[in-house]
């Protein structure tokens, strides 16, 4: 696997694992991290042998404690505006990664860290995970999609309260509030994330992409548009080799063998 300065990448069968690796800075998201994540996700997307990815943080303390405050502290408003500082964070990874990816949150997911986790298709959290958008305490606000994705995930009341107070939300509350799909004991986080990723990777790959696209459409489209999009994608899948194989395998009571086409 490629060598990076701030992240680690490895593969386990058809599962790519990307680990934020600045544990001493609680995996703070610097611009070097961004460039490396963009490359790592593009490599995952381009590799036909890889069918699900996991992003996690190194160390026991943090997934990522936010954008790198030390890097941002000297920046002027004009720098943020003219460089459109967060725009690649908010769009590039999400848009290039059509295949599924999971965030395995192993501790603090604050500010940009919470926002990065919410960019994933879903979140599996360790029972010590803590989510928050504490930017208000720095005199700013979420800048990588948090005000939008948190609100869509947990609803206005809780999102507003989180953003206005900057408080952290623990794993149990995050599960109850639909921010995360599942909470597991800390020691079992990666085992569970890999098991889930391997299960997704065992599915017909084109159907996985289409299922992801459909669910995301519920965020972006009206109900009527989303239902039309769902039907069209279903119709495309119905013409696939893997649909033929999947239905034949069911009828013949055997496992399907996917071509991905």
- Minimum CB separation from ligand CO8 for residue 122, in Å? 21
- Candidates 14, 15, 55, 65; binder of ligand CO8 (CB under 6 A) is 65
- C-alpha distances in Å from residue 80, one per residue of 25, 87, 110, 254: 22, 10, 20, 56
- Minimum CB separation from ligand CO8 for residue 24, in Å? 6
Per residue in 95-115, is it b (16+ CB within 10 Å) or e — as a string?
A: eebebbbbbbbbbbbbbbbbb
- Going by C-alpha positions, the residue among 180, 221, 148 that lies closest to residue 63 is 180
Please tell me whether residue 117 binds ligand CO8 under the rule CB under 6 A: no
- Going by C-alpha positions, the residue among 201, 217, 261 that lies closest to residue 236 is 261
Measured from the Cβ of residue 207, the count of other Cβ atoms closer than 10 Å reads 18
Nearer to ligand CO8, 14 or 37 (CB): 37
Please tell me whether residue 67 binds ligand CO8 under the rule CB under 6 A: yes
Please tell me whether residue 66 binds ligand CO8 under the rule CB under 6 A: yes
- Candidates 101, 108, 131, 258; binder of ligand CO8 (CB under 6 A) is 108
Please report, as residue ranges, which positions from 14 to 33 form the binding site for ligand CO8 (by CB under 6 A). 25-26, 28
Please tell me whether residue 134 binds ligand CO8 under the rule CB under 6 A: yes
Torsion of CA 97, 102, 107, 108, to 10 degrees: 40
- C-alpha distances in Å from residue 260, one per residue of 15, 56, 109, 185, 202: 16, 27, 34, 34, 11
Size of the site for ligand CO8 (CB under 6 A): 20
- Candidates 18, 72, 150, 210; binder of ligand CO8 (CB under 6 A) is 72
Contacting residues toward ligand CO8, per CB under 6 A: 25-26, 28, 65-70, 72-73, 108, 110-112, 134-135, 138, 140, 143
Question: What residues are annotated to the active site?
Answer: 67, 112, 115, 135
């Amino acid at each position: 696997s490629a060598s990076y300065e701030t992240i680690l990448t490895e593969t386990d069968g058809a599962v790519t694992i990307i680990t934020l690796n600045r544990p001493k800075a609680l995996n703070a998201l610097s611009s070097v991290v961004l460039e490396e994540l963009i490359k790592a996700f593009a490599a995952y997307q381009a590799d036909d042998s890889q069918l699900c990815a996991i992003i996690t943080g190194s160390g026991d303390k943090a997934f990522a404690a936010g954008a790198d405050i030390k890097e941002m502290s000297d920046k002027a408003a004009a720098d943020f505006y003219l460089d459109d500082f967060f725009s690649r964070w908010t769009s590039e990874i999400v848009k290039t990664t059509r295949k599924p990816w999971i965030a395995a949150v192993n501790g603090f997911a604050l500010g940009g860290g919470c926002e990065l986790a919410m960019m994933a298709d879903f979140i599996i959290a360790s029972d010590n995970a803590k989510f928050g958008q504490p930017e208000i305490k720095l005199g700013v606000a979420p800048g990588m999609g948090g005000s939008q994705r948190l609100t869509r995930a947990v609803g206005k009341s809780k999102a507003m309260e989180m953003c206005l107070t900057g408080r952290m939300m623990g794993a149990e509350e995050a599960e109850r509030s639909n921010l995360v799909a599942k909470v597991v004991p800390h020691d079992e986080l990666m085992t569970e994330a890999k098991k889930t990723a391997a299960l997704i990777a065992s599915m017909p790959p084109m159907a996985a992409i289409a299922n992801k696209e459909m669910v995301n459409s519920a965020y972006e489209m009206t109900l009527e548009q989303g239902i039309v999009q769902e039907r069209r994608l279903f119709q495309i899948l119905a013409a696939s080799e893997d649909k033929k194989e999947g239905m034949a395998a069911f009828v013949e009571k055997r496992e399907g063998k996917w071509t991905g086409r």
